[in-house]
Amino acid sequence: MNQFLKNRFFDQIAVMFGREAKKPVAISPVAQQFHTMKRATNKERLAAMIREHHATGKKVHTWRNRRWAVLILANLLFTVSFWLDIQVLEGALTASRFIGFHLIDLNSALQVMLAHKHIIVNLVIGTGTVLVLWLLLGGRTFCSWVCPYHLLAEWAENIHLWLVKQKLVTDQPMDRRLRTGSWLVFAALALATGYTVFEAISPTGIVSRALIYGPGLALLWVLALLFFEVFFSRRAWCRYACPIGLTYGVVGIFSPVRVKYSLAECFHEGDCRKVCLVPHVLDTVIKGRAVDVEVPLGPDCTRCGLCVDTCPTGSLKFEVKGLSKLM
């Protein structure tokens, strides 16, 4: 990793914890040449090229469809295993057992150990399995590929965007540092009270248990969150509150699976940032921001693939670090 990417890497970690993205101070000479060339490009010609791509390019949902299929099947497997009593996947997303292997959500395990004020061996074993899985696939892959609330929030977001387009509502962004504060508050509550307070209100756990064991009153809280996201703030829970996302974001720092941005062919039209759940990770695609000709996105990226599907020139692609691009 060159010094420019190394500096960017640490900036991306700071942004994950809530700092606002800033224009980089140091940019590699090769990237500077590309930025200079793009500034010299005739604006009318560039605009015409963008229009041509939008006019001729088909809207694809390749990665979105794959992601939805995996998410739905993973959660259905919990439900089918319980109702048919086949004991393939027992429990719920917070804690489960897959064909004998214990799987425990990293954030849930941390909450339990803080509440009990000591390290629980069985939790460490179950957490280790999950940690290895998400280290390989990408930390926040859990959010977009497994979490059932994410799918509900994605559908709610579509309604919100339609209402914004009709000028019936306006999006109310909030300070992203709230998520780091939320993580600290729930950790402190677990430590102080001896209870896993977050688990009682986590929409991920509530929806997962409702799908498996049947709906309960806790779903009213989930509906309230979705109502807030539809009419007030787009993806508010995932962007500004959920400590699970931050926990897996930390894991994502070390993951080999990532989305990489290539500067050469990018038109900087911004469609990728419009569809992104966490648009701050795409700060590097803004004209003049890329520190090198190829820049991996930050650890807060959910690997949802929406930007990959949307990019008309293929400037954003999945890759495994050290191996060739996936698509």
pLDDT interval class at 26 (50, 70, 90): confident
Q: Per-residue pLDDT for 39 more than 80?
A: no
Write the CA distances from 120 to 113, 124, 170, 212, 259, integer angstroms.
Answer: 7, 6, 46, 26, 35
**CB-based contact 290:31 (threshold 8 Å):** yes
Would the CA dihedral through 84, 85, 89, 90 be positive or negative?
positive
In terms of DSSP H, where are the helices of 91-176? Answer: 106-116, 121-137, 141-145, 148-165
Q: Per-residue pLDDT for 281 more than 70?
A: yes
Per-residue pLDDT of 163-192, as tens digits, reads 999 999 999 999 999 999 999 999 999 999
How far out from the chain centre does Cα 98 lie?
24
Q: Per-residue pLDDT for 316 more than 60?
A: yes
**CB-based contact 252:139 (threshold 8 Å):** yes
Can you give the pTM of this predicted structure? Answer: 0.89
The type of residue at 185 is V
User: What whole-number percentage of the chain has pLDDT above 90?
Assistant: 56
pLDDT for 207: 96
pLDDT for 118: 80
Per-residue pLDDT of 3-23, as tens digits, reads 778 888 888 899 899 998 888
**CB-based contact 291:8 (threshold 8 Å):** yes
- Give the C-alpha separation, 203 to 252, whole Å: 22
For the chain, what's the residue count? 327
**CB-based contact 288:43 (threshold 8 Å):** no
Mean pLDDT of 257-273: 88
- Give the C-alpha separation, 177 to 79, whole Å: 35
Place of tokens 């809530």: 18
Element (H, E) at 243: helix 243-252
- Give the C-alpha separation, 162 to 201, whole Å: 28
pLDDT for 152: 97
- Give the C-alpha separation, 58 to 71, whole Å: 25
Q: How many C-beta neighbours within 10 Å does residue 237 have? A: 23
The type of residue at 285 is V
pLDDT interval class at 58 (50, 70, 90): low
Per-residue pLDDT of 104-139, as tens digits, reads 889 998 898 899 888 777 778 888 888 888 888 888
Element (H, E) at 182: helix 177-193
Which of the pair, 121 or 213, is modelled with greater confidence? 213
Write the CA distances from 87 to 36, 62, 79, 213, integer angstroms.
Answer: 60, 32, 11, 15
